[in-house]
Amino acid sequence: MRYFTEEHEWVEIDGAIGTVGITEYAQGQLGDIVFVDVPADGRTLAKGDEAAVVESVKAASDVYSPVSGTVLEGNSALADSPDLVNSDAEGEGWFFRITLSDEDELGELMDEAGYEAFVAKL
């Protein structure tokens, strides 16, 4: 199941593990991605914490953790190929994987239909 935030992050849940990235909409707003800084393995994040930084030719933006937990791994491929976010923001361009500490937080996020309705109003 995939969930979305109003800040345009997504988290895909597989058991107690979440994979986090930015949405196609966010990538489109940023333009060409030139740098991504992912969180360190083992870092503890609370929902809403600044977790990563993404820089484009237009701007730098913080990426917030949509859930609380401990970072399992950052996507090391983004160090050499930040353009993966441009080509596949909701797939190979993921930012980090996190072990969820409070699955109830997922209820505060939007499902895909809710997110599409949210973006349509922007």
Q: Taking residues 78-97, what's their average pLDDT? A: 97
For 24-77, how does the pLDDT look when each residue is reduced to its tens digit (9 = 90+)? 999 999 999 999 999 999 999 999 999 999 999 999 999 999 999 999 999 999
- What is the reported pLDDT for 38? 97
Taking the C-alpha atoms of residue 89 and residue 67, their distance in angstroms, rounded to an integer, is 19
Q: Taking residues 98-110, what's their average pLDDT? A: 97
In-domain check, residue 60: yes
In-domain check, residue 119: no
- What CATH number is given to the structural domain containing 58? 2.40.50.100
For 2-14, how does the pLDDT look when each residue is reduced to its tens digit (9 = 90+)? 999 999 999 999 9
Structure tokens at 115: 């997110």
Torsion 92-43-60-63 (CA) sign: positive
Cα first-last separation, the chain: 24
DSSP-derived secondary structure letter, 38: P
Supply the mean pLDDT for the chain.
97
Domain count, the chain: 1
In-domain check, residue 107: no
**Where is 78: in which H helix or E strand?**
helix 77-80
Q: What share of the chain is helix, strand, coil (3-state, %, to 5)?
A: 25, 40, 35
